[in-house]
């Protein structure tokens, strides 16, 4: 079976993929990397969808990082109803 990276990570370890996407987004947020707007939006949407599907991968750069999560919402193109739905996923990471 020949899987691409996305399928491989989603099958083998979706939390690793979530963490990698989060690291890319955090470097963009801090200004260390300047992806195109489309790339940044795609990654933000992917991260949010991964958290919605698999739960929060609590890494040092994501779990409890309120600034990151606020920035993430600002660069995502997902609608506000979706954010209301997944708020529990993000909020639960702060209570852990």
Q: Where are the domains of the chain?
A: 5-95
- 11: part of which helix (H) or strand (E)? helix 5-12
pLDDT averaged over the chain? 80
The answer to whether residue 89 scores a pLDDT higher than 60 is no
The answer to whether residue 96 scores a pLDDT higher than 60 is no
CA atoms within 13 A on the CB side of 51: 29
The answer to whether residue 9 scores a pLDDT higher than 70 is no
The answer to whether residue 82 scores a pLDDT higher than 80 is no
The answer to whether residue 1 scores a pLDDT higher than 90 is no
User: Residue 42: is it exposed, middle or buried by C-beta count within 10 angstroms (0-12/13-18/19+)?
Assistant: middle
**Mean pLDDT within 47-75:** 83
Residue pair 48/86 in contact (Cβ under 8 Å)? The answer is yes
- Residue 59's SS3 state is coil
């Amino acid at each position: 079976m020949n899987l691409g990276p996305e399928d491989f990570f989603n099958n083998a370890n979706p939390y690793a993929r979530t963490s990698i996407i989060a690291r890319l987004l955090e470097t963009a947020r801090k200004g260390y990397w300047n992806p195109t707007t489309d790339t940044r939006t795609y990654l933000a949407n992917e991260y949010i969808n991964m958290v919605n599907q698999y739960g929060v991968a609590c890494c040092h750069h994501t779990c409890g990082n309120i600034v990151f999560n606020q920035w993430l919402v600002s660069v995502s193109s997902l609608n506000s109803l979706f954010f209301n739905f997944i708020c529990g996923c993000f909020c639960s990471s702060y209570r852990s």
